[in-house]
Chain A
């Protein structure tokens, strides 16, 4: 249904997108949006979109109002704001100060982020596998099952025939379709190419990763997840946490656990390599391992083991391996240097240091900016 309001509405959505883009850095770094995530829509409060005008501030005689009902002095009053009720169409004279909540789909949000960070579209690797077929009605034919008969077309054809035969009487417009008039919908089977992708998030949960560090990981993974989801249908995510040993967990646990203990990064890499080998044949999957840690590994030996696993079992299969190092007051932060030293020439290894929440945006750009 086209409506006269549509252009105005589109314009409004554009303005909303512009506002969100402006403040994206703020939204990204405070993690507030994650809490607001509904199923696949999020709502964002936009206070600044209201038309400013000379009006009273609160305080002094400005606040409060008059109501009706029971209650003594000091009793609470529910609401206090006039609610939109049945009313005459005097929209545009909004009363009170209300913050506008705008709903966006994750798709739109990812688009906005992509535009703002100037992220390239990701080129999926490998051949495009045919995984689904879909039937679509594309035309009309003369034979078919009665259940697919095209009523309007059939009668139109019958009318045409009767007019041509001269049997059509406008005073008594009776039209009887005969067999030749019948028209049926026809369909075509369309293969839907789909590229598969898996993200394997690995997080270090050893004693040295504090709440703030985990919060950073949480926010960054959320945005990476959002972006990659907009790029691939059927994106899978797997989560691994590790201290001295590694295990696979679900999303919820990934974001909430607080473990402690030493750090053996190799344990996680081993698990990751096994996951790839067992579940994701590289010819069919785009594989994105992300590893977040404070970079304080147990020993030099373990680090070289990590490098070996990466080189042999992970990098050959992954589109890109991303390592994000969160700054922690306890860790030495050595691991990122080791990785950089060994993989200076490797094209599909990206390392990024995330010093604070404000650096999340930059880090995302480093990870996703290559379009792999």
Chain B
């Protein structure tokens, strides 16, 4: 590990000083300087120096390398959610770029440390990833590359079947409840009646029938899992007939999926926050007059939005600024909401100065969905010239289809909810009493990509080793897709 050159150490100290003054709260951050090739390598590894052996990282590397060669992309910065945090600077960047990156990175580290959705992630993931690599290598030595690799492929197909909220809540505690229920002698339910009427309203024959019904209910096989399980990977880990090494690999894939989930949950907030702080620190403290042009040039590239693009950096920073302004001027609460007078709204300023405090609070407790749901207001939408677009079959191009606030907001939220991926849960692990696995797709208006669904079901079947079924909606008809290890079938249900 090469030490950071002295002039960069000075820059880091300087910028960290400014950041602390503003109240940013970050872990120790270790910067490393990498040439572009190494940068691409680390980027392909998701920011880590070591990952388990898998061709997908090689594929990502090739794509990064190619887009670098063609001048399409340029990785400025990378930072890992870890304590101490590690961040990388690109060798050969100009000094002003390095300053900007350091400031940006500190914003991220503050976010990692303080945002609630990161609170359950492994802060020693750099070791975690290295351990995963060792474990997978050991399996490869024992089992063979082809077998292990193809099992990793299988697991990666199901990588998104996790429940990002599950680290925070216990979805079910069925064991206790049920144990209690079974112990207690249960009363036979009867219809309500005054005592003198009881013999007529609940005659003995009726009571007998009720009792039988109850017992039949008890006899009936319990559904398993008792409630739909969204953490499909956890369910498979616990209940699928896996070899020890297979379980280990599935666990690794699940672990890493959960580690990365908060970054996907807070893309806009995280990038917005880091951009907010790098601009603030740079423009108010760190910039020298001679650097302003370069800074402005590069900063505008980071925060630009070509038409049709949703740039999380730009949307994030604008939203934070919008929130800051609203709370500075007191544009919140029922008084503000009820005010219909446009002129009054425009000049509304209570000089509360609560903006800074508010955005720190926002960065602590929100994620992208709640962030946009709460703060993406009609005014913000109009001021920032948002539109929604869709593909026009006739002209074969993407076209603006609306500038209506409601429609735009719905579209944003639906694309962010569950990372814009379908909700799929395990419904029954003993479907038709044959040990088949039944999953249900919670259909919310958009069909699944059928080829992908088929391939994913094949992966599920390989792990479950019994036929798997998926209830979904295809072209407005409820259908059950099945795969038994040989062929795909589909029927209407």
A62 at interface by CB-CB < 8 Å: yes
Contact B310 A93 (CB under 8 A): no
Contact A65 B388 (CB under 8 A): yes
Contact B400 A74 (CB under 8 A): yes
Contact A56 B391 (CB under 8 A): no
Q: Which residues of B contact A87 (CB under 8 A)?
A: 75
Q: Quick one: which of B37-88 are within 8 Å of A by CB?
A: 37-38, 41-47, 49-50, 53-64, 66-67, 72-79
Q: Which residues of B contact A59 (CB under 8 A)?
A: 446-447
Q: Which residues of A contact B60 (CB under 8 A)?
A: 91-92, 94
A4 at interface by CB-CB < 8 Å: yes
Interface locus among A11-19, A255-263, A301-309, A327-335: A11-19
A92 to B51, CA, bound (A): 12
Residue from A4, A70, A82, A102 within 8 A of B50 (CB atoms): A4
Q: How far is the CB of A42 from chain B (nearest CB, A)?
A: 14
Contact A68 B74 (CB under 8 A): no
Chain A's interface size range is: 35 or more
Q: Quick one: which of A83-114 are within 8 Å of B by CB?
A: 83-94, 100, 102-103
Q: For chains A and B in complex, what number of residue pairs have CB atoms within 8 angstroms?
A: 252
A80 at interface by CB-CB < 8 Å: yes
Contact A91 B44 (CB under 8 A): yes
A51 to B157, CA, bound (A): 6
A102 to B402, CA, bound (A): 37
Contact B46 A69 (CB under 8 A): no
Q: Quick one: which of B380-400 are within 8 Å of A by CB?
A: 384-391, 395, 397-400
Contact B58 A66 (CB under 8 A): no
Q: Which residues of A contact B11 (CB under 8 A)?
A: none
Contact A54 B399 (CB under 8 A): no
Q: Which residues of B contact A70 (CB under 8 A)?
A: 307, 385
Q: How far is the CB of B434 from chain A (nearest CB, A)?
A: 23
Q: How far is the CB of A196 from chain B (nearest CB, A)?
A: 35
Q: Which residues of A contact B420 (CB under 8 A)?
A: 56
Contact B445 A66 (CB under 8 A): no
Contact B446 A88 (CB under 8 A): no
Contact B308 A72 (CB under 8 A): no
Q: Smallest CB-CB separation from B60: which chain A residue?
A: A91
B452 at interface by CB-CB < 8 Å: yes
Main DSSP-derived SS at the A contact region? loop
A74 to B373, CA, bound (A): 27
Residue from B157, B301, B402, B441 within 8 A of A53 (CB atoms): B157
B465 at interface by CB-CB < 8 Å: no
Chain B's interface size range is: 35 or more
Given contacts A9-B61, A54-B456, are A77 and B264 in contact (CB under 8 A)? Answer: no
Q: Which residues of B contact A77 (CB under 8 A)?
A: 307-308, 389, 397-400
B285 at interface by CB-CB < 8 Å: no
Contact A57 B449 (CB under 8 A): yes
Residue from B64, B74, B449 within 8 A of A86 (CB atoms): B74
Residue from A3, A7, A75 within 8 A of B399 (CB atoms): A75
A1 at interface by CB-CB < 8 Å: yes
Q: Which residues of B contact A173 (CB under 8 A)?
A: none
Q: Smallest CB-CB separation from B39: which chain A residue?
A: A89
Contact B46 A103 (CB under 8 A): no
A52 to B10, CA, bound (A): 47
A60 at interface by CB-CB < 8 Å: yes
B237 at interface by CB-CB < 8 Å: no
Contact A66 B422 (CB under 8 A): no
B156 at interface by CB-CB < 8 Å: yes
Proximity bits, A190-206, B CB within 8 Å = 1, else 0:
00000000000000000
Q: Which residues of B contact A90 (CB under 8 A)?
A: 46-47, 260, 263-264
Contact B411 A55 (CB under 8 A): no
Q: How far is the CB of B41 from chain A (nearest CB, A)?
A: 4
Contact A91 B307 (CB under 8 A): no
Q: Which residues of A contact B446 (CB under 8 A)?
A: 56-57, 59-62
Q: Which residues of B contact A10 (CB under 8 A)?
A: 58
A246 to B248, CA, bound (A): 71
Contact B73 A64 (CB under 8 A): no
14 A–B contacts, CB within 8 A, in A order: A4-B50, A5-B61, A8-B54, A52-B456, A54-B456, A57-B448, A66-B310, A68-B307, A76-B397, A79-B308, A85-B302, A88-B77, A89-B43, A90-B264
Task: Identify the 10 closest CB pairs spanning chains A and B, nearest first.
Answer: A64-B390, A52-B455, A12-B58, A8-B58, A77-B308, A9-B58, A80-B398, A89-B43, A89-B47, A57-B449
Q: Which residues does A use to contact B, with CB under 8 Å?
A: 1, 3-5, 7-15, 49, 51-94, 100, 102-103
